[in-house]
């Protein structure tokens, strides 16, 4: 059966328990995004859609035959393993580069570190292996082909961003586990999965890593989204984006987000760190955005992603979160075409906000010394 019920079935599997109001052990009354029962966004009080609206969306999608099959498969190339592995060992001479593995999973190499964002290598983005959104193509790099990962950035706990099988595999990599950097509340989840080399952050908190290229600061930033792995734990743990500052490169990764003033705030917050401009590269979502009545507050469309690129004053941006899992009503191949239209309308050059083929590596210039 090929219908948008792809989302509904795995959700029902894990939400049979009654909803309960969580308590927030991190609660600080002077922080506006903290609530006694969890967390909230800066610019809207977000309430995840309930079962009635979810069923309405799914029924509308079935009635309209959505999502329609893509006209072209998501582009993929053989990964340049020779470059990736040589670059991983280059230490302070590492060339800044990113390789798209699929969905929101990007390998980033700079500052002498190998980082990976929201790793998911599993066949399905689901709490169970027998149903739920299925990969349209294999990951651009197999787990066994990865260089030793130094840092894993997890933006939030939705199943397409926090995949238990993948993080356990990374934790067991040869040479020792990477450092997992996560929002508040996820360190406990990781510990339950046997992962203890972890740091959790609140919005605007940072963690410094001693790296071959010099100290690297990683800051959790606000974005507009939500959290939850069942109906009983929605908004219980925090979510966020990551600003990563190495001497030779500045990276921003948004995770999932709706459009908000948070991105202008991020640019203002870090203006003193970036006197010559904004981030060298922003990793921004461009997929999983239809229908807008359901998705607008939580997932940007390509037009809004271009606006985020401009709000951040990013030198370049790369589009993620498309072409891998059928999560929403647009076809898998729609986001790049929509991004091209949005770039033209905003007079953004094509090479300033690009998409990669799965497995493709993009080498990037080092940041000019200040």
Which CATH code for domain 5-363? 3.60.15.10
Query: pLDDT digits over 112-154, tens only?
Result: 999 999 999 999 999 998 999 999 999 999 999 999 999 999 9
Amino acid 22: pLDDT:
58
C-alpha 176/C-alpha 258 separation (Å) is: 36
Three-class HEC string of 161-203: CCCHHHHHHHHCCCCCCCEEEEECCHHHHHHHCCCCCEEEECC
Residues 35-55 have a mean pLDDT of 94
Confidence check: pLDDT of 13 > 70? no
Confidence check: pLDDT of 50 > 90? no
Query: pLDDT digits over 185-233, tens only?
Result: 999 999 999 999 999 999 999 999 999 999 999 999 999 999 999 989 9
Residue extents of the structural domains in the chain: 5-363
Confidence check: pLDDT of 28 > 80? yes
C-alpha 312/C-alpha 50 separation (Å) is: 33
pTM score: 0.94
Which pair of tokens denotes residue 164? 């238990």
Residues 259-265 have a mean pLDDT of 98
Query: pLDDT digits over 285-304, tens only?
Result: 999 999 999 999 999 999 99
- 10 Å CB burial of residue 288 (0-12, 13-18, 19+) is buried
Query: 36: number of CA atoms within 13 Å, CB side?
Result: 1
Query: pLDDT digits over 312-337, tens only?
Result: 999 999 999 999 999 999 999 999 99
Confidence check: pLDDT of 19 > 90? no
- 10 Å CB burial of residue 75 (0-12, 13-18, 19+) is middle
User: With pLDDT > 70 as the criterion, what percentage of the chain qualifies?
Assistant: 94
Residues 172-195 have a mean pLDDT of 98
- 10 Å CB burial of residue 158 (0-12, 13-18, 19+) is buried
Averaged pLDDT score across all residues of the chain: 94
Amino acid 10: pLDDT:
53
C-alpha 118/C-alpha 122 separation (Å) is: 12
Amino acid 231: pLDDT:
86
Amino acid 3: pLDDT:
40
């Amino acid at each position: 059966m090929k219908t948008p019920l792809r989302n509904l079935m795995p959700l029902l599997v894990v939400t049979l328990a009654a909803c309960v109001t969580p308590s927030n052990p991190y609660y600080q009354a002077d922080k506006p995004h903290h609530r006694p029962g969890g967390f909230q966004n800066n610019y809207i009080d977000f309430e995840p859609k309930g079962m009635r609206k979810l069923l309405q969306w799914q029924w509308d999608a079935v009635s309209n035959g959505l999502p329609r099959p893509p006209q072209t498969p998501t582009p993929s190339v053989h990964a340049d393993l020779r470059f990736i592995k040589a670059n991983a060992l280059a230490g302070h001479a590492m060339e800044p580069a990113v390789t798209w593995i699929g969905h929101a999973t990007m390998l980033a190499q700079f500052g002498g570190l190998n980082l990976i964002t929201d790793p998911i290598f599993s066949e399905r983005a689901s709490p169970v292996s027998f149903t739920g959104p299925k990969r349209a193509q294999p990951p651009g790099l197999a787990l066994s082909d990865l260089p030793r990962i130094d840092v894993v950035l997890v933006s939030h706990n939705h199943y397409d961003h926090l995949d238990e099988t993948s993080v356990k595999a990374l934790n067991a990599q040869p040479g020792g586990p990477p450092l997992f950097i996560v929002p508040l509340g996820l360190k406990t989840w990781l510990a339950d999965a046997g992962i203890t080399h972890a740091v959790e952050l609140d919005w605007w908190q940072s963690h410094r890593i001693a790296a071959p290229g010099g100290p690297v600061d990683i800051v959790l930033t606000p974005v507009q989204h939500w959290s939850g792995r069942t109906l009983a734990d929605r908004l219980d743990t925090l979510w966020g984006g990551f600003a990563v500052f190495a001497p030779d490169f500045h990276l921003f990764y948004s995770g999932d987000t709706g459009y908000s003033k948070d991105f202008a705030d991020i640019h203002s917050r870090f203006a003193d760190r970036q006197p010559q401009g904004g981030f060298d590269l922003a990793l921004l979502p461009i997929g999983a955005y239809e229908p807008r009545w359901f998705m607008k507050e939580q997932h940007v469309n390509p037009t809004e992603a271009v606006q985020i690129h401009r709000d951040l004053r990013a030198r370049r941006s790369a589009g993620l979160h498309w072409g891998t899992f059928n999560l929403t009503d647009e076809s898998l191949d729609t986001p790049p075409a929509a991004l091209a239209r949005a770039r033209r309308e905003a007079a953004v050059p094509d090479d300033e906000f690009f998409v990669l083929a799965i497995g493709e590596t993009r080498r990037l210039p080092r940041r000019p010394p200040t």
